[in-house]
Structure 1
């Protein structure tokens, strides 16, 4: 248990290397001004943005994000869950314990990972911006330094409220669902703790987390990607209102398949 938090962070960082192109597609879809399919976007990127390798832009920021965000939320989730399970507080309801622990883990993880996540989103969409509006961060460190020097240190936490809510929903949907499904399969359905059980629990957790997080993730991507010179949204509530009014509620699930 003591090792699981950093092992989870390292595993998430390694996974981000493999999934980064899909994440870049997701962010491009979420921030697209008009509806576009994944296939159309891939064709456009291959023709206009220098080839599909540009989908790996920002992978170093994605790795740092996972090392901070995932490590923090796993560590807090494990510690809070263990504390609550061993005490009388909420001890009679394992599901409530997991939800409470997921909330605590999501808040801490969302704050810890926000700076790297901001740079990641900006690097992922840079290629679609007009040349005069591109930020051209060389890497995640130069991106953080540029943001602090040009916009101030608090700018590193643009979109923080949406990022925290996303992290809470992701942790609850992913980890808490995984724990619940695995325990039910072992305790009620008679399965042994095997790779098969963990695989099924992971699939269910990922599906729940993806669906819960998609609307918030769209808002987060929009807030983080907008130009500091010309902001389309003043905050999360304003973004929700404008997206729903101008694009319809389906826009909150742009990139769901690539999530």
Structure 2
């Protein structure tokens, strides 16, 4: 018989990859709106920039749908699903095994919060290092509509984007923005998984609450809110590094954004980001918990 830990990881990986892909498909219009808002610079920063084109989550979604068609809201869905299969499956699938390794297999009782955070930081960093090329292509495709009118689109689709980047920029370019991406995803993964874990355990201690969809929904919302507050600044830098090649480095991007647009620029797209991350976490964790129960009987 196979090792129980291997079975547990396999089940967790399959469930989390499926749940992450489903959540990605449902919420990618919000993510596209978030990326456009993050890439949009303050009036006066660009040459001749007037009033901002995008003015909020719903307005941005409407503008994209009107000018580019509804399908533009799902631009980047193919690499997005590639990303979630790798990143979503690994970061969640490895979380419990890494957490167990940190506390020791003989540990009994509730795992300390700092072990939860460390486990999520490690799995988030490892997973996004592997999945960075998919994230890069996703952001590049989502930012296509941000190009000025009349400028030809760079890529015809996900596969063309991978091949074009490889051919024109080299294999290393697929890991553009890896630094802020590791920072962002390690931090957000810690915020999501550790907070979900902790909130769920706390809720289950309250009389009347059980391990059901209501508990999963509340824990998922808490995880999403905490993740956006913590991760929004590095998320903005990551999106700009991947979507705009004018920045020389992560620090250059951070400094120019701060000096030209102020600290609040790091929370551009906050509402669509929370709408997306909050909805994503609720859908993902609900789907993950149900898929896990189904596979484990």
**TM-score scaled to structure 2, two decimals?**
0.79
Q: Deviations over 1:73-94 (max 9, x none)?
A: 11222220122233579x9852
2:52 maps to 1:44 = no
Q: Report 1 or 2 for greater relative contact order, CA contacts < 8 Å, sequence distance ≥ 6.
A: 2
Residues 29, 61 of structure 2: 8 Å contact kept = no
Partner of 1:219: 237
**Contact preservation (8 Å) 2:30, 2:61:** no
**Does structure 2 retain, via aligned residues, the 8 Å contact 1:107–1:167?**
yes
- Separation in 2, partners of 1:46, 1:171: 31
Question: What does 1:107-256 align with in structure 2 at a 5 Å threshold?
Answer: 107-130=125-148, 131-132=150-151, 134-135=153-154, 137-187=155-205, 191-227=209-245, 231=246, 233-256=247-270
Q: What residue in structure 1 maps to residue 98 of structure 2?
A: 80
Per-residue deviation, residues 192-235 of structure 1 (Å, max 9, x unmatched): 222211111111011101111111110000000113xxx1x211
- Counterpart of 1:60 in structure 2 is 78
Please give the per-residue CA displacement for 1:93-124, whole angstroms capped at 9, x wherever unaligned.
52111111011111111112210110110101
SS state at 2:26 partner: helix
- Alignment-derived partner of residue 98 in structure 1: 116
- Matched with 1:20 is 28
Structure 1 residue 44 displacement after superposition: 3.4
Cα deviations by residue, 1:123-153 (Å, 9 ceiling, x for unpaired) = 0111221343631x22222211111111000
Indicate how the Cα distance of structure 1 residues 97 and 190 shifts in structure 2: closer, same or farther if over 3 A, else same: farther
Distance 1:190 1:72 in 2: 33
Contact 1:119-1:144 at 8 Å conserved across structures: yes
TM-score (norm. length: structure 1): 0.90
Q: Secondary structure at the match of 2:220?
A: helix
Residues 1:192 and 1:203: Cα distance change in structure 2 (over 3 Å): same
Post-superposition shift, 1:190?
6.3
Distance 1:200 1:125 in 2: 32
Q: Which moved more, 1:21-30 or 1:126-135?
A: 126-135
Greater shift, 56-65 or 191-200, is seen at 191-200
Q: How many residues align?
A: 252
Cα 1:81–1:52 shift into 2, 3 Å? same
4+ residue segments displaced more than 6 Å: none
Q: C-alpha distance in 2, partners of 1:215/1:67? A: 25
Aligned-CA RMSD value: 2.0
